[in-house]
Amino acid sequence: MEPMARRPALLTADEYKKLPEDLRAELIDGVLVMNPSPDPSHQRIVRRLASALERHLGASADDRLLFAPCDVFIDKHNVLQPDVLVLPEGTRPTPRPWKIPVPVFVIEVVSPSTATRDRGVKVERYRDSGVREAWIVDPDGETIEILDLTAGTSVARRVGDTARSAALPGFSLNVTRLFEI
């Protein structure tokens, strides 16, 4: 009789909460995924996106606009950290211990090491949790893929185009300016 192969134990969100706060990691399908610090171009793009969203949201940005590292508890085995997120209008994070409501809008700025995960399993988990829209920003391709997670549609915007959000009415972004050096 051959011994049964043992499956690795899946980590839960409750166990994830007990990890050190300075650990840059996400919990994806029960597996702890370590993330290196982003490079300066990634940070510049995140800052530009957050600034544009702050201008658009006005006074409500203080309660609704957050950026990584910020844990979004999706379910028992998924805790994600989008680069930028916007909470639904009229909501805000709860007092300590923090509990972030499901965002209405998320942005992932991809890198070669995260692109497959950002475009794949993370988008699936966002959709399953009720996030309405995700933007996948690709600095190398200088594109923004706008995913309407409710309708199941996507459109790519390139340099020379304007990216527009359906989840945040009136929010638009000049793609050329986002990627200017």
Mean pLDDT confidence for 112-139 = 94
Give the integer Cα–Cα distance in Å for 16 and 61: 28
**How does the average pLDDT of the chain come out, rounded?**
88
Q: What is the pLDDT of residue 70?
A: 85
Please say if the pLDDT value at position 129 is more than 70: yes
| pLDDT band (50, 70, 90) for residue 181 | confident
Query: 38 and 67 in contact (C-beta within 8 Å)?
Result: no
pTM: 0.87
Query: Tens digit of pLDDT for each residue in 15-28?
Result: 888 888 777 887 88
**CB neighbours of residue 108 within 10 Å:** 27
Residue ranges per structural domain of the chain: 13-179
Strands 84-86 and 105-109, bridge-based pairing:
antiparallel
Flag whether pLDDT at 2 surpasses 60: no
Q: CATH for 13-179?
A: 3.90.1570.10
Can you tell me the distance from the alpha carbon of 115 to that of 62, in angstroms, rounded to the nearest whole number? 29
